[in-house]
Structure formats: C-alpha cells, structure tokens
Amino acid sequence: MEDIATAFPAVEILRHEPLAHYTHTKTGGPADFLAFPTNVQETKSLLAYANQLGLPITVVGNASNLIVRDGGIRGLVMILTKMAQITVDEAAHTVTAAAGAALIKTTQVAQAHSLSGLEFAAGIPGSVGGAIFMNAGAYGGEIAAVATAAEILTQAGEIRTLTQKELDFGYRHSSIQDYHDIVLTATFTLEPGDGTAIQAQMDDLNAKRAAKQPLDLPSCGSVFKRPAGHYTGQLIQEAGLQGLKWGGAQVSTKHAGFIVNIDHATATDYLELIHHIQTVIWERDQVHLETEVRIIGEEPHA
C-alpha cells in the first residue's frame, strides 16, 4: 500500500491526512492516502493503481456539502480541485468546466460571456463535479436544467460522455450516485443574455443568501432535504431547536436549516445533533427529515 505515493511522484499524495483541513465544517478524520490529481490521465492512472491494489476509492470535490466521520476514510481519497479548467464555446452558448472548478467561478465565467442560466448557482460553494453529483440547486434553479453532458470515468477505468438523460437527474440526485462514476467535466448549455442584467441577478441572490445564511461560520450548507409540504427551517424553529448546542456544533441562530461549527466541533457532534433533530421532528410532526448533506467515512474507534 505504501507504494502508491512513490508510484506517482508528480502527484501530491499525503498519508494519514486529516480531512478536517478540507471540509467546510472543519471536521473529519484522516484519509489513508489523499491525492490531488491535476488532469484526467493522473486521475485515471490513480484509479487503475488503487483498483490493482484493492484500495477503496473516494472522490471529493470542494467538500462543502459533506460530513466525513471522525474515523476518517480508508484507502485512497482523491480531491479534484486542481482540475479546474473552464472553457467557453460562444457559438454553441456552452460553458465546459472541469470537475474541480468552483461552481461560483463557473457562474462568473458565464456572466463574463453574457450567458444566462447559471445565475441561481452564483453563491453555491461546491465544485462542478459535486454539483453534478448532487444536482445542486438554489432559488428555484437546479443543475439539471442547464447541464447537458458530463464526461465521466467509470470505476472500470472507461471514459464516457453521459447525456442529460443518462445523468438521470432528480431532487439532489444524479446517476453518478448510483454507479459511483467520477465526474471529469460538465457542459452547461446556456442562453445569450445581457451581462449587466445577469450580474445584477447574481448580486441580488448573493445578497439574499448573505442575509439569511450563516456564511461567517463553518457549516456543511443546508443539512436536510426539503420535505414535501414543509420548510425544514420552520419545522426546526417551531420545535424549539434553533440555537441548540451539541458539543461544538449548533443549530444556526440565523437559519435553522444549517448546523454551524462554533467551538471545535467534531463530526460526531454534527451527526448526533442531526439524529436528535430528526428524532424530535419525527415525534413532533411525523415528518422524516432526510439528510441532503453527504455523510461518508468510518466511525471513530472506541
């Protein structure tokens, strides 16, 4: 197993690296091996090598809507944020972004070319790959409406291009979750627009986000999916849980749908608080709060 770091001298590979250094919650245990590939070939070669060694593989984007348990992740973790190229085809009105490109940066590139359709994502802190994986959305928009293709790497090492239909988007869902493919690039088909008007809409949405969300504290974003017929934050508020502290984690006093790290929280603090909220809301309202945040990794050893 130790050979993986020496086998790829051109790739930054860290051993036993705490993932708390990378997650937006500032929590998470260590990865056995943490690699930062810079291109498709490195990603493909790392996948093949890990498969050959029998190492489990976990792919992470910007780690913004993610909780890594305190036991960390065994095998190889790849963070793709060094794969961040963004290109524009003005004739086709498309923006193609590598998986590790910041979604916010991608919206800015679209605006700079007067292309409309990604405004809703102007404040979403994830990566493009994560946005495809989760079908990210905000303010009535979602990735499914504009993502028309994605180049992926299958677990068998085959590079394929998936159509919008093959991506099988649903609420916070895509086929990437079902088949554990690795997103390499995504293509967004947009509409010609007025750059100034696009920027004004992005500014307006970002102002709304800043007014309502606890952007000044570490968090994993919106913790729960919206249950049919309800608003998650309202349910949590009405149950008297807003402001509740659990270890170093707290239900945000600014937006009850968020859990923030106020005092060196652990992932266990987050997960126990999530479970407590789910239990209270079920007992009080008979509503099951399903997590939107992706939870991965192992429980800490006793």
Catalytic residue among 127, 174, 222, 252: 222
Separation between Cα atoms, residue 160 and residue 235, nearest integer Å? 42
Catalytic residue among 42, 119, 142, 292: 292
153-192 b/e with 16+ CB inside 10 Å = b? beeeeeeeebebeebbbeebbbbbeeeebbbbbbbbbbee
Is 222 labeled as catalytic in the residue annotation?
A: yes
DSSP letter string, 211-241: HHS-TTS-EEEE-BPPPTT--HHHHHHHTT-
Alpha helices in the chain (DSSP H): 3-7, 40-53, 103-112, 128-134, 164-167, 175-179, 195-212, 232-238, 267-285
Catalytic residue among 119, 172, 174, 219: 172
Is 172 labeled as catalytic in the residue annotation?
A: yes
- The first and second tokens of residue 285, run together, are 């309202």
| DSSP assignment letter at 102 | B
| DSSP assignment letter at 300 | P
Q: 294: closest CA among 89, 111, 115, 136?
A: 136
Separation between Cα atoms, residue 87 and residue 96, nearest integer Å? 5
Positions marked active-site = 172, 222, 292
